[in-house]
Structure 1
């Protein structure tokens, strides 16, 4: 650490104290969104400052005595005045150095995907979700007669779902072959085996098929989930009175939505994965 005069050192400590007080104020005003890591960093910063105040500062080395001389005295006085920094005044380099040290203790801790999923779902324990346009790349039952493709970007989200809630995937299909095609695509994507799930036990993931949209609505009503995820505006509107929360996947936000209906362009966007 660079040598400071006594007044400079005191002013630096005051700046540290003021900045920590500011951070404390922000922390307690937003405590519900702060992580334990931030609080630990704050405690460490306070201990660091306290020890800094207690530790003795190295005494500045004495300058060698010089011969008294008119010319030398004049030069020394000019040089000395040029290097003196008034108490309480700091160079930009010193300010930046102190700021960088403090900022290291207050770096925000990024939440994990699991924490985000739990928070966004409000700890919901049962989720129903449409397959087309949400889990699958295909958007119509007709497309499922040709192929079924799982969106790789949703796999981690689905895995987090299964860690704390029951997940029911459902879709309208036109024939039995489409149903088999969807199940095979889900199996190939590892949805039934991710997270150490065992096939011969009760799984937290269930797949349901129906022949009409009314059938999907009926499934949701019977299951009474905490959340339902769907792309169909009419179904979302009909279920708004019965389901606690819904996520409407749509490229455009509808003009009118119920207070318990959230809108997002994709499952990934809603959970901050894009």
Structure 2
């Protein structure tokens, strides 16, 4: 009796069982749909985080292109500030390249260490011993040259005088002009004699690298013994020997006139 009742279920019970099966199927379907949607969002998040990484090389390429474009600008194109800076460097270069008087003196004297020089017609305005009996005047334009020579050379000045008063007059004129202030030239290095031969003897004894004179005869006599000479003459003198240079003044020889 129980077996027949269980096998022969009513239509109502069949409907209930069908509804339960459908409910279970719906729950499973919803679960799977929810899982799939979750996976979809996770994948989307991964894609969005990867896209900037893919775009970074493109940004680097753009920066590289901009740097290469800057490098392709011609080097002579510059801003006004850069032009001013370049001009300052150029000005400093030419100022640095311009030699000073001291550099010119050393170059023209070929790094000589000892120089002898007569006074009349070179250092002094006067040109004869007779004029020195009245006055002695140092040429202002020659003082700076003398001071530069004394910085690099042992300088001796010499002249023929007719009396002691002339000698004192010459020393006073040199002192007034400031020739002794540098310390390179002292009064003991100003030599006096009574003849032209005496001046030649002074030069021979001192054995300078350079001798400066106005007498062409003395220059000719000393050409064999002195390494270099400078012959000074108001009129353009003729060069008498390969080691004898000529100039209208000592300032002109050193480029100061």
Q: Which TM-score applies when normalising by structure 2?
A: 0.64
Is 1:119 paired with 2:107?
Answer: yes
Shift in alpha-carbon separation, 1:213–1:11, aligned structure 2, 3 A: farther
Counterparts in 2 of 1:257 and 1:9: CA distance versus 1, 3 Å: farther
- The alpha-carbon distance between structure 1 residues 112 and 204, as it changes in their structure 2 partners (threshold 3 A), is farther
Instruction: Kindly indicate whether residue 179 of structure 2 is the aligned counterpart of residue 152 of structure 1.
Output: no
- Higher Cα Rg, which structure: 2
* Secondary structure of residue in 2 paired with 1:262: strand
Residue ranges of structure 2 left out of the alignment (5+ in a row)? 1-67
Cα distance change, pair 108–149 in 1 and its aligned pair in 2 (3 A) = same
Question: Is contact 1:167-1:204 (8 Å) kept?
Answer: no
User: Taking structure 1 as reference, are residues 204 and 138 closer, same or farther at Cα in structure 2, changes over 3 Å only?
Assistant: closer
Aligned residues of 1:226 and 1:243 also touching (Cα < 8 A): yes
Could you say what secondary structure the match of 2:205 adopts? helix
CA contact (8 A) 1:162 1:204 kept: no
Specify which of 148, 160, 171 is matched with residue 172 of structure 1. 160
Partner of 2:182: 195
How many equivalent residue pairs? 187
Distance change (3 Å), C-alpha of 1:121 and 1:147 = same
Q: What are the residue-to-residue correspondences of 1:215-230 with 2, within 5 Å?
A: 215-230=198-213
Which position in structure 2 is the counterpart of 1:107? 94
- 2:20 maps to which residue? none
The alpha-carbon distance between structure 1 residues 7 and 263, as it changes in their structure 2 partners (threshold 3 A), is farther
**Relative to structure 1, is the Cα distance of residues 244 and 205 closer, same or farther in structure 2, using a 3 angstrom cutoff?**
farther
1:182 corresponds to which residue?
Answer: 170
Which residue in the other structure is 2:123 paired with? 135
- Structure 1 CA distance for aligned equivalents of residues 118 and 212 of structure 2: 6
2:225 alignment partner, one of 222, 232, 242: 242
- Give a deviation string over 1:130-182, Cα, whole Å, max 9, x none: 00011101011111011000111111111112212211100011111111111
Secondary structure, counterpart of 1:229 in structure 2: strand
Length-normalised TM-score, structure 1 = 0.60
Structure 1, unaligned runs of 5 or more: 1-5, 17-51, 58-95
Contact 1:144 1:182 in 2 (8 A): yes
Say what the alpha-carbon RMSD is for the aligned residues. 3.0
The equivalent of 1:266 in structure 2 is 249
Matches within 5 A, 1:28-39: none
